Amino acid sequence: MKIVGVTACTAGIAHTYIVKEKLEQAARKLGYTCRIETQGSIGIEEQLTPEEIQEADVVILAIDVKISGENRFKGKPVVRMSTEKAMKNTGAMLQSIEEALTKKKNGGN
């Protein structure tokens, strides 16, 4: 599964970067490809390219505030959650997302 996403917390300091690391580490352990953009106190870092977004199976928005450029993800499956939720049981959450996408792709609800 190819994942792209954005993390952004209220202060734009700790949670933004912790969640990025947790998502990328959990994805690697599961054999997924994952690229996460951060929108923190110092601005946008590691900005996703249009190609990365196009190739992604899912977009994860682990955000507590409004982000810049959310319209880039139109037409892609988007999973939204708080940064706090994204930090807990990250691997299990990613597996649940993959299961839901597979079910939807195979005609399930």
Q: Which residues are catalytic?
A: 9
| Paired residues of 61 in beta bridges | 6, 80
Cα 23 to Cα 11: distance, rounded to the nearest angstrom: 19
Round the CA-based radius of gyration of the chain to a whole number and report it.
13
Please count the helices (runs of H) and the strands (runs of E) in the chain.
4, 5
Token digits of residue 66: 């409004």
Cα 107 to Cα 92: distance, rounded to the nearest angstrom: 23
